[in-house]
Amino acid sequence: MGTLNSISPFTGETQFEPIAESTAADVEAVVARSAAASAAWARLVPTERARALRAIADALDADPASLAELAHQETALGADRLVGEIARTTFQLRLFAEELESGRLLATEVDEALAGLPPVGHPRLVRKYVALGPVAVFGAGNFPFAFGQLGGDTASALAAGCTVIVKDHPGHPHLAQTLTSLAQTALAGAGFDADVFQSVRGMAAGAALVAHPAVQAGAFTGSQKAGRALFDIASSRPEPIPFYGELGSMNPVFITQAALESRRDELATELATSLTMGRGQLCTKPSVIFVPDDQAFIDALVAALSAVAPGQLLSPLSLERYVQGVSGVAGVSGVTELIPTSAGSDLTVAPGLLATSYENFLQNSEELLEECFGPVGLIVRCSSETDFDTAIGHLEGALVATVQAVPGPDAELARHLVDELSFIAGRVVVNGWPTGLAVTPWQHHGGPYPASTSVLHTSVGSQAMMRFVRPVVIQNVSDDQWPGLL
Same domain, residue pair 61 and 199: yes
- Whether the CB-CB separation of 380 and 288 falls below 8 Å is answered with yes
- The predicted pLDDT at position 1 comes to 67
Same domain, residue pair 415 and 371: yes
Nearest alpha-carbon partner for 322 in 302, 347, 300: 347
Residue 484 neighbours by CB under 8 Å, 6+ apart: none
- Tell me the C-alpha distance between 441 and 464, whole Å: 9
Same domain, residue pair 56 and 185: yes
Sheet architecture: strand order including 352-357: 336-339, 352-357, 376-382, 286-292, 251-255, 401-404, 428-430
Question: Does residue 7 sit within a domain?
Answer: yes
Question: Does residue 121 sit within a domain?
Answer: yes
Q: What is the Cα gyration radius of the chain?
A: 24
- Tell me the C-alpha distance between 291 and 405, whole Å: 11
Residue 235 neighbours by CB under 8 Å, 6+ apart: 243
- Tell me the C-alpha distance between 286 and 310, whole Å: 19
Residue 388 neighbours by CB under 8 Å, 6+ apart: 254, 290, 382, 417
Same domain, residue pair 89 and 163: yes
294 alpha-carbon distance from chain centroid: 34
Residue span of the structural domain in which 84 resides: 3-247+452-475
- The predicted pLDDT at position 44 comes to 97
Same domain, residue pair 76 and 160: yes
Helix 203-211 to helix 24-43 angle, to the nearest 10 degrees? 50
pLDDT single digits (tens) 70-91: 999 999 999 999 999 999 999 9
227 alpha-carbon distance from chain centroid: 12
Look up the CATH number of the domain holding residue 417.
3.40.309.10
- The predicted pLDDT at position 385 comes to 95
Question: Does residue 25 sit within a domain?
Answer: yes
Residue 126 neighbours by CB under 8 Å, 6+ apart: 108, 109, 110, 111, 473, 474, 475, 477, 486
Over its length of 486 residues, how does the chain's per-residue pLDDT go in tens digits?
A: 699 999 999 988 999 999 999 999 999 999 999 999 999 999 999 999 999 999 999 999 999 999 999 999 999 999 999 999 999 999 999 999 999 999 998 999 999 999 998 888 999 999 999 999 999 999 999 999 999 999 999 999 999 999 999 999 999 999 999 999 999 999 999 999 999 999 999 999 999 999 999 999 999 999 999 999 999 999 999 999 999 999 988 999 999 999 999 999 999 999 999 999 999 999 999 999 999 999 999 999 999 999 999 999 998 889 999 999 999 999 999 999 999 987 777 789 999 999 999 999 999 999 999 999 999 999 999 999 999 999 999 999 999 999 999 999 999 999 999 999 999 999 999 999 999 889 988 899 999 999 999 999 999 999 999 999 999 999 999 888 888 888
pLDDT single digits (tens) 105-154: 899 999 999 999 888 899 999 999 999 999 999 999 999 999 999 999 99
Question: Does residue 438 sit within a domain?
Answer: no
Nearest alpha-carbon partner for 166 in 178, 156, 175, 153: 153
Q: How many CB atoms lie within 10 A of CB 283?
A: 28
Question: Does residue 481 sit within a domain?
Answer: no
Same domain, residue pair 70 and 152: yes
Same domain, residue pair 227 and 306: no
Beta strands in 274-364 (DSSP E): 286-292, 311-312, 336-339, 342-343, 348-350, 352-357
Question: Does residue 381 sit within a domain?
Answer: yes
Residue 216 neighbours by CB under 8 Å, 6+ apart: 132, 133, 134, 135, 162, 241
Active site (annotated) includes residue 246: yes
Per-residue CA distances from 121 to 115, 127, 128, 477 (Å): 5, 17, 21, 16
Look up the CATH number of the domain holding residue 106.
3.40.605.10
Residue 411 neighbours by CB under 8 Å, 6+ apart: none
Question: Does residue 391 sit within a domain?
Answer: yes
Where residue 252 falls (left for φ over 0; alpha for ψ -120 to 50; beta otherwise) is beta
For residue 2, give the amino acid letter. G
Same domain, residue pair 160 and 293: no
pTM of the prediction? 0.94
Same domain, residue pair 50 and 153: yes
Active site (annotated) includes residue 372: no
Same domain, residue pair 288 and 235: no
Number of domains in the chain: 2
Same domain, residue pair 396 and 293: yes
Question: Does residue 480 sit within a domain?
Answer: no
Nearest alpha-carbon partner for 161 in 297, 331, 38: 38
Same domain, residue pair 255 and 231: no
DSSP calls for 357-401? EHHHHHHHHHHHT----SSEEEEEEESSGGGHHHHHHTPPPBS-E
Beta bridge partners of 425: 398
- Whether the CB-CB separation of 440 and 461 falls below 8 Å is answered with yes
Q: Which of 85, 99, 162, 283 is catalytic?
A: 283
Torsion sign over Cα 136, 140, 146, 150:
positive
Where residue 169 falls (left for φ over 0; alpha for ψ -120 to 50; beta otherwise) is beta
